[in-house]
């Protein structure tokens, strides 16, 4: 019996919205006000963002074991707890150190929330709707950012109340998602999943996917961490900068249609187009930070293309790591995080000597290089079909 489509998708959208859109990316949205009140420098801000990505990386690795041993419900519940706890710590922080601790705790939540839904979609969604289900769940980040923007604008300079509002949303989403998540992933009628090994994670089939994830992560993290600050430094008002950030999140909701695009033009073409637009968007915001119309166009392009890249990576991962979807997605997210750890830290060091324009152009270049590591062509798929993973089967 398949779970009704909306009952499967809506909790996933809600959890990704609060763990990514609020707990993870809310930091970049509220950073300027936090800097003013807590004395956070650009360099420190970059290090805090990288710390959050590092905590995300650690839980993203731990979730592989948790999902196999405990099922999907436990990591989803723990993700909600970490998101709410971390954002509460940020809301009451009186120093940059306190804020850093909260941001790092909140950042860990996203690592636990995403991979379990790969197994849930694989088991519960009809095969014909898995791509659509996954692209819709992936768009949760956009919903989160789209919600966070108006909340931040509504509270103005009272960034602490914005964080507390995010906490309430995280608690509500966590309760619903935990209750609706299956306790265990069933494997009846399927081959037993392979024992995890280095050669299972990194092989000719997965290498382009993992490399492109690193590059996209490094380039996009510069936007998520420093775009609001960059726009304000270029002369835009706080309200304009926040509106652009929120618009970016709203635009990424367009990526919920990535599944349909994949069916129409193919995964390879969808991914190539999304990476190219992502690089163009970063270039446009780098060269037009003082032009509000150009910024808005770049925000829409970035949000839609980034969401499409992430959704395409999830669909691609399900093909490459079909025997253990959650473990495979965790590997992809780990690669993405290696990029997002290095991106903000490097950007934080580069901003003062070279400025925001050059830093954003460098981020655009990284995203552009990702087009060379894309889903295989038909000929390459035939070659890769002959590859056999050397990982040993699960022992009894």
Q: What is the total residue count of the chain?
A: 396
Which residue has tokens 């935990």? 178
Gap between the Cα atoms of 85 and 88, Å rounded: 5
**Whether 91 contacts 167, CB under 8 Å:** yes
Are 254 and 135 in contact by the 8 Å Cβ rule? The answer is no
Handedness of CA 306, 308, 309, 310 (dihedral sign): positive
pLDDT of residue 97: 92
Q: Which two tokens stand for residue 357?
A: 């324009």
Task: Give the Cα-Cα-Cα angle 152, 304, 345 (nearest 5 degrees).
Answer: 65
Q: Where are the beta strands (DSSP E) in 16-160?
A: none
Whole-angstrom CA distances from 165 to 15, 54, 158, 228, 358 are 15, 25, 11, 20, 35
Distance CA 251, CA 304 (A): 5
67 in Cβ contact with 116 (< 8 Å):
yes
pLDDT in the model for residue 353: 87
Q: Transcribe 179-217 into DSSP letters.
A: HHS-SS---TTSPPPBPP-HHHHSSTTTHHHHHHHHHHH
* Beta carbons within 8 Å of 253's beta carbon, 6+ residues apart: 139, 142, 143, 146, 303, 307
* pLDDT at position 228: 80
* Under 8 Å between Cβ of 99 and 112: no
Strand partners, 194: 393
Q: Give yes or no for a contact between 322 and 270, defined as CB atoms under 8 angstroms apart.
A: no
Q: H helices of 205-254, where?
A: 207-233, 238-252
In degrees, to the nearest 5, what angle opens at C-alpha 278 toward C-alphas 106 and 137?
A: 50
The pLDDT, as a whole number, for residue 176 is 92
- What are the structural domains of the chain? 5-183+197-385 (1.20.1250.20)
Q: Can you give the pLDDT of all 396 residues of the chain as single tens digits?
A: 455 667 778 899 999 999 988 998 788 778 888 888 898 887 888 888 878 878 988 898 888 788 877 888 899 999 999 999 999 999 999 999 999 999 999 999 988 988 888 888 888 877 777 778 878 888 888 788 778 878 877 776 789 999 999 999 999 999 999 998 887 655 544 444 555 565 666 677 778 888 998 999 888 888 877 888 888 888 888 778 878 877 887 787 887 777 777 778 888 888 899 999 999 999 988 887 778 888 899 999 998 898 888 888 888 888 887 777 777 777 887 888 788 778 877 888 888 888 888 998 999 999 899 888 888 776 566 655 655 555 444 343
CA distances, 164 to each of 156, 170, 208 (Å)? 14, 10, 40
Return d(Cα 352, Cα 357) in angstroms, integer.
11
Q: What is the dihedral of CA 194, 116, 255, 154, to 10 degrees?
A: -160
């Amino acid at each position: 019996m398949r779970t009704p489509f909306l009952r499967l998708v809506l909790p996933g959208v809600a959890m990704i919205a609060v763990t990514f859109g609020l707990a993870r990316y809310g930091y970049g949205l509220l950073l300027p006000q936090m800097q003013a009140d807590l004395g956070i420098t650009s360099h420190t801000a970059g290090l805090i963002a990288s710390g959050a990505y590092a905590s995300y990386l650690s839980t993203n690795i731990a979730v592989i074991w948790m999902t196999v041993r405990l099922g999907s419900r436990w990591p989803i519940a723990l993700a909600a707890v970490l998101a709410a706890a971390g954002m509460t710590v940020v809301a009451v922080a009186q120093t940059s150190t306190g804020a850093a601790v909260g941001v790092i705790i909140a950042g860990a939540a996203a690592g636990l929330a995403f991979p379990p839904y790969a197994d849930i979609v694989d088991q519960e969604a009809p095969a014909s709707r898995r791509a659509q289900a996954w692209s819709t769940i992936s768009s949760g980040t956009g919903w989160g950012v789209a919600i966070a923007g108006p909340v931040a604008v509504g509270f103005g300079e009272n960034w602490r109340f914005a964080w507390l509002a995010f906490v309430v949303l995280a608690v509500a989403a966590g309760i619903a998602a935990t209750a609706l998540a299956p306790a265990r992933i069933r494997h009846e009628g399927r081959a037993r999943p392979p024992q995890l090994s280095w050669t299972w994670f990194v092989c000719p089939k997965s290498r382009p996917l993992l490399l492109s994830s690193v590059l996209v992560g490094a380039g996009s993290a510069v936007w998520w961490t420093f775009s609001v600050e960059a726009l304000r430094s270029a002369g835009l008002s706080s309200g304009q900068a926040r509106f652009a950030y929120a618009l970016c999140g709203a635009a990424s909701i367009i990526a919920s249609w990535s599944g349909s695009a994949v069916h129409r033009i193919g995964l390879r073409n969808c991914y190539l187009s999304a990476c190219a637009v992502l690089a163009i968007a970063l270039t446009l915001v780098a060269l037009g930070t003082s032009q509000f119309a150009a910024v808005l166009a770049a925000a829409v392009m970035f949000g839609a293309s980034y969401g499409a890249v992430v959704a395409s990576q999830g669909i691609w991962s399900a093909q490459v790591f079909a025997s253990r979807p959650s473990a495979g997605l965790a590997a992809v997210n780990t690669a993405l995080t290696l990029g997002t750890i290095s991106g903000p830290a490097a950007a934080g060091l580069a901003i003062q000597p070279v400025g925001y324009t050059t830093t954003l152009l460098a981020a655009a270049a990284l995203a552009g290089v990702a087009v060379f590591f894309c889903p295989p062509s038909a000929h390459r798929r035939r070659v890769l079909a002959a590859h056999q993973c050397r990982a040993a089967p699960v022992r009894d």
